[in-house]
Amino acid sequence: MNLRRVVVTGLGALTPIGNNLQEYWDGLANGVSGAAPITRFDASKFKTQFACEIKNFDVEQYIDKKEARKMDPFTQYAMIVVEEAMKDSGLDLENIDLHRAGVIWGSGIGGLKTFQDEVTSFAHGDGTPRFNPFFIPKMIADISAGFLSIKYGFKGPNFVTVSACASATNALIDAFNYIRLGKADIFISGGSEAAVTEAGIGGFNAMKALSQRNDSPETASRPFDKDREGFVLGEGAGALILEEYEHAKARGAKIYAELVGGAMTADAHHITAPHPEGEGAGNVMKLALEDAGLTPEDIDYINVHGTSTPLGDVSEVKAIQKVFGPHAYNLNISSTKSMTGHLLGAAGAIEAIAAIFAVQKDLVPPTINHFTDDENLDTKLNLTFNKAQERKVNAALSNTFGFGGHNCSIIFKKIAE
């Protein structure tokens, strides 16, 4: 079977280091930290009192107040980044087959703030069941894709993937497969998350997953550093417009990169901890390379999952060394979570954008906040510490792994006519 080619023709971003695509890339290229004390609520009694929040954000600058009230923040973020991506793509909705255009979105948690607020309100009341009529529609994760399809009239496949922190990459791979199998021509895909709430911080604190470096939030996310002690929670969204190559070419679309391969595996090991030897992580990268028809030597850059946890960073590096062998020392490797924090189900979307920009601009974003080498990691690897590096990037791989043992890898290449 001849598989069709899939390209990226539009991008949108709303992140802790930039509220649009250009600001986000500038933040990555310049090694900006998005971590700061929490402003969403009084965090003084929490073990972790900081996060990577979106800054200088007013939803009414983007969405009508009445409409915004019908949406949880995670859906608001989705609507905002997709509007940017759609404008960036130059798609003319009157000249495409809307039945062959779909939406596959990702969110690991969905409407956490809505759920928290409604249940808290009920619990503090007199027991009379008073709930907002929008409670359920605002909370459910799939509503983001529903809102997007309604806004743009996309009548093709429409759903949301939920695979914890792998959700957005899972969504991108699903959309990629629909297009290359000939079942659609265009997809809105990506992910959004809005978990910087009392429940989000408190829940991850209870798991001992978050950094508690309250005296220095901006340096708390430090992947691969000897003194890393947990991830920093982030929020935001990223959107990609995926399009069949000939369809994009026919309308003279700008093409950022070609999506050439993707894969998904499971650790089948533990509900939260990665496999210590990176078995599932290694297998998913190997399968993504096979899917793309590439060898390990074809990859120039890996945007790693790299959350800044003691176990996760080591197991991922072990997996890379196993899959890439001697070529691992020729790679640039970096964790952009050192800047953005961990956007959970949206991480794969903004990190795919980072990989795409690395391919397009031949610039690898850094892993910031490196102070002390970890003796458990091979110091000969180029983990792109503290400063962006220029190099030819013909192909980039992006990893995202999630609680439950979900692993996703996706590969982008420079477009070849």
Cα–Cα distances in angstroms (integers) from residue 150 to residues 85, 133, 265, in the given order: 16, 20, 32
Of the three residues 225, 250, 275, the one that is the final residue of a domain is 250
Q: Is residue 258 part of a domain?
A: no
At residue 417, the pLDDT reads: 65
From the candidates 38, 165, 186, 239, which is the catalytic residue?
165
How many whole angstroms separate alpha carbon 341 and alpha carbon 364?
18
Query: Same structural domain for residues 233 and 368?
Result: no
Q: Same domain, yes or no, for 386 and 286?
A: yes
Q: Tens digit of pLDDT for each residue in 174-205?
A: 999 999 999 999 999 999 999 999 999 999 99
Beta-carbon contacts of residue 46 (< 8 Å; ≥ 6 apart)? 198, 201, 202, 205
Q: Average the pLDDT over 45-73 and give the result.
A: 97
Alpha carbons 247 and 14: distance in angstroms, whole number: 28
Which of 215, 250, 285 is the C-terminal boundary of a domain? 250
Do residues 335 and 202 share a domain?
no
Residue pLDDT, tens place only, 313-329: 999 999 999 999 999 99
Residue 359, pLDDT > 70, answer yes
297 and 226, same structural domain?
A: no
pTM of the model: 0.97
User: Is 408 a catalytic site residue?
Assistant: no
Judge whether 245 lies within some domain.
yes
What span, in angstroms and rounded, lies between the C-alpha atoms of 332 and 283?
20
- In the predicted model, what is the mean pLDDT of residues 383-409? 97
Are 41 and 171 in the same domain? Answer: yes
Query: How far is the C-alpha of 102 from the C-alpha of 176, rounded, in Å?
Result: 11
What is the tally of structural domains in the chain? 2
Are 336 and 205 contained in the same domain? no
DSSP string, 143-207: HHHHHHHHHHT--S-EEEE-BTBTHHHHHHHHHHHHHHTTS-SEEEEEEEE---SHHHHHHHHHT
pLDDT for 341-358, tens place per residue?
999 999 999 999 999 999
pLDDT at 157 exceeding the cut of 70: yes
Task: Please give the residue range of the domain that contains residue 216.
Answer: 6-250
User: For position 103, which CATH number holds?
Assistant: 3.40.47.10
Last residue of a domain, one of 227, 250, 273: 250
